[in-house]
Amino acid sequence: MQQYDWLETDLKSLQRQQQLILNAVGEGVYGVDLQGNATFINPAAAQMIGWEIQDLIGRSMHAVLHHSHPDGAPYPREHCPIYAAFQDGIVHQVANEVFWRKDGTSFPVEYISTPMRDEQGKLIGAVVAFRDITKRKWAETVLQRANEELDQKVRERTAELRQANEQLKELSEIRSRVVSMVCHEFRNPLNNILLSVSSLERYDAHLPIEQKTAYLEGIKANVERMTQMIDDVLVIGKLEAKQLSVHPVSLDLVQFCQQLIQEIQMNTGSDRIVFKRRSQSLWVDADEKLLRSILSNILLNALRYSPEKSLVQLKVSRQQKHIIFQVQDQGIGIPLEDQPYLFEPFHRGKNVSNIPGTGLGLNIVKRFVDLQQGQIKVNSTLGQGTTFTVMLPLPSQSPSQSQN
């Protein structure tokens, strides 16, 4: 009898210890019988799901906290890993489901369902231990988002670096071609200057004044040619570095074109340019420097690549919100196979022969037209002539007017 009392005392002591352990555990712990009804539940579990312990004993825990999937779809009991534990006798561990609170809200959990057996090894239920992993999921989401943002930034930066690298390669190629072309193009005028200077030094006393003047004029022309080439290279450098912008001013295009033609005629000694317009004045807002460079390059090319006695025609007009310039010559024309590459730097037509040039002028023209969001078109027939048409948009507030 005393031994029985002693065993009963020990059993009660053991039960109290187990209860204390269950109460102290921070994780949720509950037990179910073979019908899935709660046999015990610790305070942490009851608190996490918002129930009182006494209200849970004997209730179906699946119906209480595991009845639905995260999206709210029904979760059949026969598919539940918790119930599988006391059917197949295997421990089931899950980390991607939710438990539901009494108020109808849910929270992500990680749980393990362990089968319980009696002294004879017979399955009598299962013990479920679970923890709320909301903070962990939040941290994982934040980390994933941060990784995605970092990955996106890395991809964007990589693309920027790749593009910059390609631009650097292109600039390096252009720079090499510039140096090569400049060296090649400088060689001829420098040789001409050297020859003229040498002739003047050797035969100064024997040369007539006309020949001396011709030598000096040749030196001047070659210096101007090299100066123009340097200017073109500097302009391309500024364009590549995006250091040029559009600065429109109020401008009478008729007067501007007349003055430009006079300047070209004075510099070239040619009076072959014919100017056509519909009005006596045409006021617009335009960038004078860019416009001067565009028209000068096209007009000088027209003079350079056409017979000495042929005419070059410049037309200017205004159509709605655009100003249109058209330069037409009766020159050698541009071969069809060269036309797609006409505005590429350093490209020159196959039929230019020994006519001097760098192949930079039309590239600058195209860049200046693009800078103003305009268009340039070419219509050329070999042996008959070429027509360049430049269309530039006017600023929306351009105070333009024309007088007949």
Instruction: Give the residue range(s) of CATH 3.30.450.20 domains in the chain.
Output: 2-132
DSSP 47-85: HHHT--HHHHTTSBHHHHH-SB-TTS-B--GGG-HHHHH
How many CA atoms within 13 Å lie on the side-chain side of 402?
Answer: 14
**What's the rounded Cα separation, in Å, for the pair 203 and 70?**
104
pTM: 0.50
Instruction: Give the residue range(s) of CATH 3.30.565.10 domains in the chain.
Output: 249-403
The region, left, alpha or beta by phi > 0 then psi within -120 to 50, assigned to residue 326 is beta
Q: Quick one: tokens of 319?
A: 């159509």
Could you please state the CATH topology (level 3) that the domain comprising 2-132 is classified under.
Beta-Lactamase (3.30.450)
What is the reported pLDDT for 294? 92
What is the reported pLDDT for 271? 86
Q: Which CATH superfamily is 249-403 part of?
A: Histidine kinase-like ATPase, C-terminal domain (3.30.565.10)
Let me know: does 294 contact 314? Beta carbons within 8 Å.
no
Could you please state the CATH topology (level 3) that the domain comprising 161-240 is classified under.
Helix Hairpins (1.10.287)
Q: Is 26 exposed, middle or buried (0-12, 13-18, 19+ CB in 10 A)?
A: exposed
What is the reported pLDDT for 229? 72
Q: How many CB atoms lie within 10 A of CB 295?
A: 22
Residues of the chain with pLDDT under 50: 11, 398-404
Contacts of 152 by beta carbon, 8 Å cutoff, 6+ apart: none
What is the reported pLDDT for 20? 54
